[in-house]
Structure 1
């Protein structure tokens, strides 16, 4: 079933989904806003398909102890991946009963939301925390880009992967910008914090700019250690956001006077006496 949804709002958008009887949608913890009384809510550790099914068949209770053990191991691996990536360990599932139901979701930052439609031919990858909600027919996974660097959980290395068919709702900070590297010679370079999502087929990498040169020393003195650039190559849709989480945090810190140093604080202090 196609997920009927409407994205409303301006500076802080939300997605209002209308569920048909028996239709299920799931979200990450902290993204749920409201629901009608006929929509049930259940918390599960595993993603779609990881909970035991009723009846026989592959992956169901009819598979015996072997099937249950495989399900348990699959759920444990999925939870372990999410813990390693710093994601919430549980999903919340919402199912309509006794007629149509309504449930609302939102991201955690001021900005846009987007509904992506998966038809099974291509997966989508999204940056950590971009995921808001999806139909139960959409499978959620964690992809570590950059090999061992991905284990560190650094920005730009942990990706969320969506496969299957159905609707996925994502969110970002600021406004969305849609690009295709093929329109720019096949390659674009962007701040890792600006990436929201991209289609399968786009080659993704991360390079570090800034070393022990003059610029690198200046970055270190003033609180940075260089700049990470993501390289996106190929032919496919890329969604960027106009605001980074780091930029928003720095702006809020300055607005609250958090960047000010006392008479004895900071690297450079002034003494009057």
Structure 2
């Protein structure tokens, strides 16, 4: 066992947080900004990368940080170490409505490929790297882009996804087609590619995009019902827009009412 062995408990339903219990000198790593609360005796430290290259000097630290930049994450991560004598708890919250998925990497051959913004926290020793899509179609047209996150190790990791999560077990040769944004994670054996929907009317007016992800077994796939990109686009579409003269708020809207209360001047 190379990773720290941590215990955990999930709280909540649609707005979850995970409570991690640390024995003395045990450490958990987490995305910057994901902390919810921690008990006395836990020491917090900001590091480059995921902490697995801390003994490799400056070059190793830069490599670890560079991997995180490629996946669109912060240069830094945060470690939480129990410096007390007894057990201590530290909790991490999900960034938007959805589910936190606990992953025991030792049960998936030590590697999990997931969408680039899904990582939340993990036991110290888990490597958070990058996974390049080998096929150009998947790279250019996949909802997850050319680069995805790669979690490696034999400990616990926690990822987050939107809405309801469905786990699908694919047998050898079995194929599953999903919206490109709905893919959360998959084991390394799964063959991932992008397929054109086909049909001009379907492509232009179907509202589902031009491509979907084709996943072929054997392996395990996790799918989310509400990708954050879909949620954000609906919120943006429902937000009253200003016109070119920077003059008008949505009539009868909540935003417009707040604008009046705060003393805004409609023209």
TM tier, smaller: 0.7 to 0.9
Per the alignment, residue 44 of structure 1 pairs with 47
CA distance in 1, matches of 2:33, 2:118: 12
Structure 2 CA distance for partners of 1:153 and 1:86, relative to 1, 3 Å: farther
Per the alignment, residue 83 of structure 2 pairs with 97
Q: Do residues 250 (structure 1) and 249 (structure 2) align? A: no
Contact 1:84 1:151 in 2 (8 A): no
Q: Do residues 10 (structure 1) and 13 (structure 2) align? A: yes
TM-score between the two structures when normalised by the length of structure 2: 0.79
CA distance in 1, matches of 2:19, 2:136: 39
Q: Do residues 143 (structure 1) and 131 (structure 2) align? A: yes
CA distance in 1, matches of 2:104, 2:64: 23
Per the alignment, residue 163 of structure 2 pairs with 174
Per the alignment, residue 152 of structure 2 pairs with 163
CA shift at 1:14, angstroms? 0.4
Q: Do residues 130 (structure 1) and 118 (structure 2) align? A: yes
Q: Do residues 241 (structure 1) and 238 (structure 2) align? A: no
CA shift at 1:77, angstroms? 2.3
- 1:233-264 per-position Cα deviation (integer Å, ceiling 9, x unaligned): 11222111111222211332344345x989xx
CA distance in 1, matches of 2:103, 2:141: 25
SS at 2:151's partner residue?
Answer: strand
CA distance in 1, matches of 2:80, 2:10: 18
Q: List aligned pairs for 1:78-117, cutoff 5 A.
A: 78-98=64-84, 99-117=86-104
CA shift at 1:217, angstroms? 4.6
CA distance in 1, matches of 2:35, 2:151: 19
The runs of 5 or more residues in structure 1 that have no matched partner are: 53-58, 60-67, 263-273
User: Over the residues paired in the alignment, what is the CA RMSD in angstroms?
Assistant: 2.8
Per the alignment, residue 23 of structure 1 pairs with 26
Contact 1:133 1:168 in 2 (8 A): yes
CA distance in 2, matches of 1:242, 1:217: 23
The runs of 5 or more residues in structure 2 that have no matched partner are: 245-267
Structure 2 CA distance for partners of 1:192 and 1:152, relative to 1, 3 Å: closer
CA distance in 2, matches of 1:77, 1:37: 33
Structure 1 range deviating more: 42-51 or 146-155:
146-155
CA distance in 2, matches of 1:151, 1:169: 25
CA shift at 1:207, angstroms? 3.1
